[in-house]
Chain A
Amino acid sequence: MINSLRAALVCAAAVAVFASTLLTSGVWVQAAQQQAQPGVAAQAPPAGAARQGGGGRGRGRGPQDPTPRLADGTVNFGRVPGEKGTWNVPYITNMAMRVVTGPGSTQLVPEIVAQQEAAAAARAGGAGARGGARGGGGGGRGGAKSEPWIPWMPWSAAVYDYNSKNESKYDPEGYCLPPGGPRMMATPYHMEIIQMPEHNRIVMIFEGATHIWREIYVDGRKFPEGDALNPTYLGYSIGRWQDKDTLIVENKGFNENSWLDYFGHPHTDKMEVTERWTRPNKGQLRYEATVNDPGAYTRPFTMMWENITWDMDLTPELPEYICQENNRFLNRLTDDLGQPIFGPRQQPGEKPARGTR
């Protein structure tokens, strides 16, 4: 039986670190309630409410407050002077279940809504449907066929089927490699956004995701060309303000060492990601990512989530978390041929190693 890397690493860590927090905040309960309602996962909260955004740590204070702004009127994605706070990033295991009808839309694609409605109906009928309930992202592990709205290429569909079948055994994030790309905002640890308008740059720092940071240049520069655009996990990020409410970040120059999500949607180094960041109110961050990867998908698609909540109470400052420390799962992980993924290889004639396949 294959053990999930996520179960061994991220889930375990998240449970250990956040369990008491979540019990008090009720954010997971809210998330579960949202999933039970077809179409709700990516919809904007009704006016005056904070259905997705109000459940994080610090709940009850943020949503009622207006969006903080910098001196020039643009959105302040970080702290206001004199206070502390961090963003509580949700755990989204399957980004396919967050695909909306297009950039700027909050409406899930009709196929997801139909799938959620069917799952809700099945639950109501006692059938215990799996869809929509697993890992905060829903969708079960039905492989590429269960996500017909994803514009697969044959190879990317086949890789996804493979990752589904082995339950994401090879998830690079399970090796404590950086999530990369949009997955940075789907890995369930806290993060902070620090704007430095005087330097025309924005820095994002992450508690999890290998304790990493990313830098967004907001100085009007162009992308490096050719070999100057060195492929990296996080890519090269250039931001601009569409208006004073929306920060648009164009990203390219990704390497191929990451997955889009835990479920194992692949990408290539041809991927370009356009992010749209907004803060509808003080307590809520809305994140949208349009993935354009002509190496893996036949057309672009857009994903969105807005249940990123502002936490002033329980995690007002980022703690240190080192994924690489004591990652014992790697020691017993074996590949499809029975060989250890890490550590000495088996010699010809040796007895196959026992481990997680």
Chain B
Amino acid sequence: MSLRLLLVEDDRELRATLREALLVEGYQVLTAASLAEAHAMYGQTQLGESAAPAFDLILLDLGLPDGDGSELLVKLRRKQSTPVIIISAREAEGQKIQLLDEGADDYLVKPFSIGELLARMRVALRHRGNQIRAAVTRYEQGDLVIDLANHRVSRNDELIHLTPTEFNLLARLVRSAGQVVTHRQLLVDVWGQEYLEHTHYLRLYMGQLRAKLEDNPAEPQLLLTEPGVGYRLLDTRD
């Protein structure tokens, strides 16, 4: 059975274009043009299949005629973990970070290419699967192998030594490989709540990790920076 998507977008042209493109990719696409419509859609399908989540993924625009898309995100997150990708014309980093911290899986600023959207969707869907299956413990990209279970990082079978903090940071990124992890999430998960303001720790340790793992640290290919938001470990299938 094909995956079911809910596309919440008020602009008719963009909605139609995205719907066509996603249909071509084999997804089953339902669309909503407003918050109320999205709620209704969600309620209806929920009635039919009460046990399973109504959709496999939601693409959510923020500026909707009857409210802000983030309201739907917050309501949704109280009940379930359906992946949500925000698509919005708003570029302010602050909001991006807030939505990611509130549980959005990714954030795409309009305009974006279909290729970019599909890649982000693939990552988000894979991580949804992870919550049911075992968590990611192994990351392979080129010569590099990161084995979280055995605390081993190697390239061409050659062991790379990492300090405990470096390893924890890398492990956090591996668990969300392909997804943006905000500064806040990294600082809280690796150092602890009281280190929220210490963004400079991240700069330091990411620099060290890149020096050890990247071929050319000046032009990183694995440990990617999302300026002003956070970091993303390259998706293994990209």
Chain B associates with chain A: no
